[in-house]
Structure 1
Amino acid sequence: MVKGEVFVNHNVYSSPLTDRYAGAEMSYIWSPQFKHSTWRRLWLELAKCEQKLGLAITDGQIKQMSEHLEDIDFDRVAAKEKELRHDVMSHIHVFGESCPDAMPIIHLGATSCFVTDNTELIQMREGMKVLRGKLLKLMDQLAAFCERNKALPTLGFTHYQPAQLTTVGKRFSLYLQDFMLDFERLEREIEELPFRSVKGTTGTQASFLELFDGDHAKCRELEKSVAAAMGFDRVIAVSGQTYTRKIDYFVMSILSGIAQSAAKMATDIRLLANLKEVEEPFEKKQIGSSAMAYKRNPMRSERVCSLARYVMNLPGNAAMTESTQWFERTLDDSANRRIILGEGFLTVDIILSLLINITDGLQLWPNVIRKHIQAELPFMATENLLMAAVKKGGNRQELHEVIRTHSMAAARRVKEEGADNDLLERLKSDPAFNCIRDEFDSLLDPATFVGRAPQQVQEFLAEEIRPILERYGKELSAAAADSVNV
């Protein structure tokens, strides 16, 4: 191999999450390096806290451990695991080879879940912080889009059939509100996530009670101090060998919620793209179809929907794991969780990066939007015209019949001939509406059909969104879309 060349083995499976899509920061959090260097930090902090509480651990042993937190010989670990058939013990032995003086006290009193469970909690916490930054970025961009388009009328749909008008900003505020609700749940989970800390083999702390000669207070202090050293304010009160897998379910549910919001927004963008009202960013040399050169497929939104479908199924998996943990623990959770925890976070990270990219370059086509309004507005405007004519002395029942007759004729013309809707011209020329002929244009201004949509957007942004963005101003300014292949 040439120096600096990256070797890629094309004969083995590799995950598209890391090879094709993933951001560097989230990939690192779920990498072997982060995971196992965290194991070493946990062993270090356990030793430091045990030393402070009176166990015979020397400063030299602590120093040796602290000097070898990152230099992990993974080849040596793999060889050791073939011999021992135990991943945690393999890492203990290789860590001990790097700091031989500390070897006797590494992992003192602990069980494997001390490093595995606590590390996974740390990974989830750090992963949620990355997602929080990206959610802030997405919410900021959506808020700006809503502000710019808060008063731009657009055709509303119910049952994907034309309904009353709304505004583009109001429609996108619905997506923004979903992400705001996801953000609030994510924020609470980060704040309330507990640490397992030191619990022992079946959660009774018997080994630590033995180390401290029956001193219960020292056991409790060790638990709190190790958690604090790793940045946690809360320790789960009781556990078996593992922390309750219900926590995984809670976290996966938050990821699922974000995926739901993303799929809803991306699906609507795909529908709007078909109507030619909205387009996601399209690169100068991007190819939409290998056969149809004219196509501009909403590929990013399609990718969001595809990835979201996977994430939305993860809570059920976590629920099964929680419900089938026998007594103090069984190992059938292990292989399963190695997959869903990391992949769940990686997938949502990619989804948010895609949405940040989409909203940053989302293209509106106001003339197309206006054309669709004009095709349906004649029918929607009839009630306004009716009321205005009645105010000028017209007979409500007679006017209603005139509108009904012309509406049927105009609709038939549209459907049978493919012609434009000429209902307004028919009504304007009918003598029954002579009294408001000069008011037709003002009565048909689309802006008068959107209700309080612009004000609702303004109030929502001011009262709900901007306080969040201001509270996290520093994090927002530092949050940028991670390096992903969008």
Structure 2
Amino acid sequence: MSNDKYATPLSSRYASDEMSKIFSLRHRFSTWRKLWLTLAKAEKEVGLEMITDEAIAEMEKHLEITDEEIEDAKKEEAIVRHDVMAHVHTFGKTCPAAAGIIHLGATSCYVTDNADLIFLRDAYDILIPKLVNVIDRLSKFALEYKDLPVLGWTHFQPAQLTTVGKRSTLWLQELLWDLRNMQRARDDIGLRGAKGTTGTQASFLSLFHGNHDKVDELDEKIVELLGFDHAYPCTGQTYSRKIDIDAVAPLSSLGATAHKMATDIRLLANLKEIEEPFEKSQIGSSAMAYKRNPMRSERVCSLARHLGSLYQDVFQTSAVQWFERTLDDSAIRRISLPSAFLTADILLSTLLNITSGLVVYPKVIERRIKSELPFMATENIIMAMVENGGSRQDCHEEIRVLSHQAAAVVKEQGGDNDLIERIKNTEYFKPIWDDLEKLLDPSTFVGRAPQQTEKFVKVTVAEALKPYQSYINDEAVKLSV
């Protein structure tokens, strides 16, 4: 790749080689050749005698397009201003025995649209295993920390306690929904098949001399040879661009999940409670040597915004298609479809790296709980006093006064929360002095968080991952940059 030309960072910097390859020029044009070969084979099997064994054998030997052929096709396209016909000519020069039957009866969208559908399916086959492993690793983290109390936040203000594991189930549940949506989208992808110029199959009906059964058989044969289970029954010149909405929507939704999760981790890093992995030689700042910036989570948030925006591309493209097709879908789809899958691939690779090495700091978590728990324990203290014969109203007033005094120490003087010390020094509360330690045990403030977490992981997550056991591994995931 030339250093003098702009290259999208999605492929040149971040995305995996396997995902980048799917949307590469070589793979695209080689897939076109595979589709022309498939068409010829199907036409021959259905009864077109003009398709020879020699032509098919020659095409089979040259499915992988060479660099020289790509350059030849570029030169041809500059003359004819049509990318598909440029490649028909180039393939024909390489396979002279097949030159007369390449693309026979087909329109350009036979190769461009069917190839795109193959790419969407194969791209999902890369994403889904990565998502499965993110879920698997995060579920292990949830179980490991299911009992560790942590301060909960609502409105980013201190709230009731939860546990570190329970909080991670909030991320996990959304990831499970993403898995469901992505698998459903992948399984729904079909082929355009051999439908002709406006979807009527008129050219193929002519080839088979008006035999409708043979035209149907041809379409079915192409689906079978390409490893799909169905072709869309109705198309115009293109397959409906609503299919692109169905394919990209789950990815944009994944972007929302990833952004929320990564934002939580960024906030937790600021609180010094949880951090993403930080490599031994990693530099956080060129000026501030002590910095441990959450760069992986920041990358996730950055690219998740882009992924979410791509939904509008496919939505608008689908909405403005006229009748059997217009060409204003072409340029934008060359950008938005690869971008969506490359970006989703990067997000999942990064999340896989993050969930493989989340670092928890229990002592920091404990200190923060201690600073807030006295306020949260006031209701428990009131109830304990009532059980010892006190008046709820009297106790409420006593603890209200002490709470405001302790809050002033924290907010105005920058001191520690000394509410418990004040309670210990107030004669009114003497009946429960010996019970204070028990009343302030953090584990008694987390409700059913540990039980919820264990049940969710061992039942809900386990059930969802059953079909994907062969995908699960413990391979280390290192980000290239």
Normalization by structure 2: what TM-score? 0.97
1:70-89 CA distance string (max 9 Å, x none): 14321111122122211111
Q: 2:162 is paired with a residue of what secondary structure?
A: strand
Task: Trace 1:436-447 onto structure 2 (pairs within 5 A).
Answer: 436-447=432-443
Task: Trace 1:6-25 onto structure 2 (pairs within 5 A).
Answer: 8-25=1-18
Deviation at 1:64, TM superposition (A): 1.1
1:208-228 CA distance string (max 9 Å, x none): 111111111111111111012
2:123 equivalent in structure 1: 127
1:27 equivalent in structure 2: 20
Match of 2:268 among 245, 261, 272: 272
Q: What runs of 5+ residues in structure 1 fail to find an aligned partner?
A: 1-7
CA distance in 2, matches of 1:437, 1:183: 52
- Range that drifts further, 70-79 or 381-390: 70-79
Match of 2:55 among 56, 61, 66: 61
Match of 1:203 among 167, 190, 199: 199
Deviation at 1:375, TM superposition (A): 0.7
**1:312 aligns to 2:308 (yes or no):** yes
Contact 1:137 1:480 in 2 (8 A): no
Paired amino acid for 2:218: L
CA distance in 2, matches of 1:100, 1:480: 47
- Range that drifts further, 465-474 or 258-267: 465-474
Contact 2:105 2:207 in 1 (8 A): yes
Deviation at 1:428, TM superposition (A): 2.5
Task: Trace 1:446-461 onto structure 2 (pairs within 5 A).
Answer: 446-461=442-457
Match of 1:168 among 160, 164, 172: 164
Match of 1:36 among 21, 29, 37: 29
**1:283 aligns to 2:276 (yes or no):** no
Task: Trace 1:167-246 onto structure 2 (pairs within 5 A).
Answer: 167-246=163-242
Deviation at 1:484, TM superposition (A): 4.5
Paired amino acid for 2:56: I
Change (3 A) 1:472 1:365: same
Change (3 A) 1:110 1:480: farther
Contact 2:29 2:65 in 1 (8 A): no
2:372 equivalent in structure 1: 376
Change (3 A) 1:449 1:310: same
Contact 2:133 2:471 in 1 (8 A): no
Deviation at 1:270, TM superposition (A): 0.6
Paired amino acid for 1:30: F
Deviation at 1:481, TM superposition (A): 6.9
Task: Trace 1:297-336 onto structure 2 (pairs within 5 A).
Answer: 297-336=293-332
Deviation at 1:476, TM superposition (A): 2.1
Deviation at 1:482, TM superposition (A): 6.9
CA distance in 2, matches of 1:34, 1:482: 26
Contact 2:190 2:228 in 1 (8 A): yes
Paired amino acid for 2:177: L
Q: 1:108 is paired with a residue of what secondary structure?
A: coil
Q: 1:328 is paired with a residue of what secondary structure?
A: coil
Change (3 A) 1:100 1:482: farther
Contact 2:19 2:345 in 1 (8 A): yes
Paired amino acid for 2:269: A
Q: 1:101 is paired with a residue of what secondary structure?
A: coil
1:49 equivalent in structure 2: 42
- Range that drifts further, 53-62 or 142-151: 53-62
Paired amino acid for 2:5: V
* Percentage identity across paired residues of the two chains: 54
CA distance in 2, matches of 1:475, 1:63: 36
Contact 1:22 1:485 in 2 (8 A): no
Contact 2:26 2:65 in 1 (8 A): no
1:304-341 CA distance string (max 9 Å, x none): 10111101001111111011111111101101000011
Q: 2:346 is paired with a residue of what secondary structure?
A: helix
Contact 1:142 1:359 in 2 (8 A): yes
Change (3 A) 1:392 1:460: same
CA distance in 2, matches of 1:208, 1:432: 95
CA distance in 2, matches of 1:394, 1:430: 14
Q: What runs of 5+ residues in structure 2 fail to find an aligned partner?
A: none
Contact 1:23 1:484 in 2 (8 A): no
- Range that drifts further, 345-354 or 426-435: 426-435
**1:142 aligns to 2:138 (yes or no):** yes
Q: 2:170 is paired with a residue of what secondary structure?
A: helix
CA distance in 1, matches of 2:33, 2:475: 30
Alignment: residue pair count = 478
Paired amino acid for 1:67: K
CA distance in 2, matches of 1:278, 1:387: 34
Paired amino acid for 1:69: L
CA distance in 1, matches of 2:14, 2:329: 27
Contact 2:353 2:477 in 1 (8 A): no
- Range that drifts further, 459-468 or 26-35: 459-468
- Range that drifts further, 203-212 or 391-400: 391-400
Question: Once superposed, which parts of structure 1, at least 4 consecutive aligned residues long, lie more than 4 Å away?
Answer: 479-484
1:271-305 CA distance string (max 9 Å, x none): 11111111111122221112212111111111110
Deviation at 1:483, TM superposition (A): 6.8
2:258 equivalent in structure 1: 262
Deviation at 1:90, TM superposition (A): 1.0
Normalization by structure 1: what TM-score? 0.96
CA distance in 2, matches of 1:229, 1:368: 59
After superposition, the CA RMSD in angstroms is 1.3
1:246-285 CA distance string (max 9 Å, x none): 1111111111011111110101111111111111111222
Contact 2:356 2:476 in 1 (8 A): no
Contact 2:353 2:479 in 1 (8 A): no
**1:473 aligns to 2:469 (yes or no):** yes
Deviation at 1:350, TM superposition (A): 0.7
Contact 1:350 1:484 in 2 (8 A): no
CA distance in 2, matches of 1:485, 1:17: 12
